[in-house]
Amino acid sequence: MKTTYPASPRGDHVDVYLDASGAEVRVADPYRWLEDPDSPETRAWVQAQRVLTEAHLTDLPERHAYRARIRELWDAPAEGAPWQRGGQYFRQVNPGLLNQPLLQVAPSPRGPWRTLLDPNALSADGTVALAGTSVSPQGRLLAYGTQSAGSDWVTWRVRDVESGEDRPDTLEWSKFGGAAWLPDESGFYYAAYDAPASGGALTGTNRNQRLMLHRVGTPQAQDEVALQRPDEPDWGFRARVTNDGEYLVIHVWKGTARKNQVWVRPLGRAEAFRELVGDFRAAFEVLGNDGPLFYLHTDEGAPRGKVITWDLTTGERRDLVPEGPDAVEQSALVPGGLLLLTLRDASHRLTLHDRTGAKVRDLPLPGPGAVETLHTQPDDPEVFLTFTSFLTRPAPYRLDVTGGSLEPLSTEIPAFDASKFEVTQEFAVSHDGTRVPMFIVAPRGLKRDGTNPTLLYGYGGFNNALKPAFNAARLAWVERGGVFVQANLRGGGEYGKDWHEAGTLERKQNVFDDFIACAEHLIRTGVTAPAHLGIHGRSNGGLLVGACMTQRPDLFGAAIPQVGVLDMLRYHQFTIGWAWASDYGRSDDPAMLGHLLAYSPLHALKAAAYPPTLIVTGDHDDRVVPGHSFKFGAQLQHVQQGDSPTLLRLETRGGHGAGKPTALLIDEWADILAFLEHHLR
């Protein structure tokens, strides 16, 4: 039966663009009014959509089963890897179903642990979350940032570690940066913007970031502007104080491109910054220093990454660890050497090298999978990491780089019977012959008869690699006979810079072709069939789902575009959207307009039979603003020719996803999986 949707009045707004030939291109935007999330009209529309979606989901018997099982699987201790400052150890831990993890401190990485900060006490509904922590060098003070309702805006405060009491410091309107302490603990650097105009938190753009120096115990109004470039409004600044306390290092970023400048100056001296890297030609990450000899991780001339040294005194540069066959995802200094965390077909390897660059040994990991966090210090042989896989809960380990031993730190690693499931890796062949890896998680002994409900997940952007990771909700899906597939598409970072760039700008269609190739591989090999194949992606992955379902609606049985970038002509007009142009290009560039129009999900919709679609967003997401999902949902409801429903699941206290409370995550996953199972069986 065809669904009756809430009224979505269509306006007559038209934008005019210029294409590569200089000709005018007129593009209608009938739902422009939905870009204002706080207008009475939008609020009424959101509420009507929520009532419709809730009525549909309430009728799904699978919803209650998923909610109960996900809750059971989620209810287990989740202990993060500790880190050490001033002889004290810190970690985040969730004993089970708390909405937010606790921050704890102990005299040893084995405990006993004392709760230093409980974010659950900061709001009644659990929607205030820790957005960043930085412990002072002697371990006496904690700078911690909080975000509310999923917003990217961060408020910084200072807590005394011994007493657990907050100092009076409160720093507002920070975004996209951490806190870097001075060696004497008198203050720290942080990034800030001007407060948004009234009502502009979702509609204004984030530009003109400043690096501020806050002195502990003083009001924010007295903070010193340490660095700003009003002539370069798109530049941002990430500060780091070297471990020896001698240098202030600035990584200058511009958007999400993995290209940055590096500026250095002696700390505490009135000297100009030395522009070690003075343009945006490649990615450079300062790992640390031995006096004036700096160690950097870069992809300059090495698409898969390498480690170099740079002598500030002589200016000499030298390759220390040259590019190898695997992509280097992270490098870190340790006593007498350095660690390299590399990716091979989307799984991690860890190796130790000496300070000449020579490989010393492979370091043990618990098995095939991924290192979620890696905490190191240049002068401490203790390394802490969290390891996970599709069938292994994240668990903390202590690695002694001197002897190479790996010690589990979890006080309780919950028993989980993984023998019922299996993980395999297969490769699809994309349209141009590129081999595209994907992990398949399925019940052991899966029958490839084309009947298995299958969830295909992808991202494919911004150099982010999708690696094996435990997810209680996806496990509940596989327990009920489903198959979960994670695709490693171009645009990500699985094979280095070239792999990433092959899925950007005018090459973005490669990402969608890779995803479609994975779907066709699953169908051809009998894992599933179009009627049983659902697709899911978040953010840039929401764009992926929107593009693929509009290009190949025949290929999928259901679609979940979540917090997706769906209007490719106007994404750069809101909050931090302008920063994504390095991957997407912009519609005000005539050379890119045609490419964007060709795949923009909102503009690709036409009268056709689309698969059942559940569009998921937060109504005040201030990263990918909800207007993307609102407009796409209204247009899809308008053009849908079949009986398949188009529903919007709209969270009123949820943002882009960071810091979302456990209770909301469980409910969200239960709704997504119930919708998929109902329409894919």
Predicted structure pTM score = 0.95
The pLDDT assigned to 199 comes to 62
Q: Is the pLDDT of residue 196 over 90?
A: no
- What is the DSSP code string of 632-679? HHHHHHHHB-SS--EEEEEETT--SSTT--HHHHHHHHHHHHHHHHHH
Measured at the CA of 39, the angle between CA 33 and CA 43, to 5 degrees, comes to 100
Q: What three-state secondary structure class fits 582?
A: helix
Beta strands 224-227; 210-215: pairing state: antiparallel
Q: Is the pLDDT of residue 197 over 90?
A: no
* 539 carries an active-site annotation: yes
Stretch 573-587: mean pLDDT, rounded? 96
Measured over the CA atoms of residue 362, residue 365, residue 366 and residue 370, the dihedral's sign is negative
Contact 612, 679 (CB under 8 A): yes
* Interval 21-52: pLDDT, tens: 999 999 999 999 999 999 999 999 999 999 99
- Strand blocks (E) in 444-518: 454-457, 483-487
Per cent of the chain over pLDDT 90 is 91
Q: Mark residue 297 as left, alpha or beta (left: phi above 0; alpha: psi -120 to 50; beta: remaining).
A: beta
Per cent of the chain over pLDDT 70 is 98
Measured at the CA of 528, the angle between CA 523 and CA 533, to 5 degrees, comes to 95
- Strand blocks (E) in 390-482: 392-400, 405-408, 421-429, 435-443, 454-457
Could you tell me which residues are beta bridge partners of residue 225? 212
Q: Is the pLDDT of residue 415 over 80?
A: no
pLDDT range class, residue 246, cuts 50, 70, 90? very high
* Interval 103-119: pLDDT, tens: 999 999 999 999 999 99
Q: Residue 35 contacts by C-beta under 8 Å, 6 or more apart in sequence?
A: 203, 570, 574, 625, 627, 630, 631
Higher-pLDDT residue of 414, 337: 337
The pLDDT assigned to 416 comes to 72
* CA-derived radius of gyration, the chain: 25
The CA-atom distances, in angstroms, between 245 and each of 137, 147, 184, 205, 289 are 10, 30, 9, 35, 10
The pLDDT assigned to 660 comes to 86
The pLDDT assigned to 200 comes to 61
Peptide bond into 561 cis (omega under 30): no
The pLDDT assigned to 91 comes to 98
The pLDDT assigned to 412 comes to 66
pLDDT range class, residue 406, cuts 50, 70, 90? very high
Cβ neighbours, 10 Å, residue 551: 18
Contact 394, 418 (CB under 8 A): no
Q: What three-state secondary structure class fits 532?
A: helix
The pLDDT assigned to 271 comes to 86
Q: Is the pLDDT of residue 635 over 70?
A: yes
Cβ neighbours, 10 Å, residue 420: 12
Q: Is the pLDDT of residue 636 over 70?
A: yes
Cβ neighbours, 10 Å, residue 295: 22
Among residues 539, 582, 587, 600, the one annotated as catalytic is 539
Q: Residue 234 contacts by C-beta under 8 Å, 6 or more apart in sequence?
A: 207, 254, 255, 578, 579
Q: Is the pLDDT of residue 653 over 90?
A: no
Stretch 454-461: mean pLDDT, rounded? 98
The pLDDT assigned to 201 comes to 60
Distance CA 470, CA 480 (A): 17
Higher-pLDDT residue of 603, 271: 603
Q: Is the pLDDT of residue 389 over 80?
A: yes
Higher-pLDDT residue of 431, 202: 431
Helix %, strand %, coil % of the chain (to 5):
25, 35, 40
Among residues 29, 514, 621, 667, the one annotated as catalytic is 621
Q: Which residue bears the tokens 């994907």?
A: 438
In 3D, which of 165, 161, 150 has the Cα closest to residue 99? 150
Could you tell me which residues are beta bridge partners of residue 382? 400
Q: Residue 589 contacts by C-beta under 8 Å, 6 or more apart in sequence?
A: none
Among residues 251, 628, 656, 678, the one annotated as catalytic is 656
pLDDT range class, residue 160, cuts 50, 70, 90? very high
Distance CA 135, CA 89 (A): 10
Distance CA 39, CA 54 (A): 22
The pLDDT assigned to 34 comes to 97
Q: Is the pLDDT of residue 657 over 70?
A: no
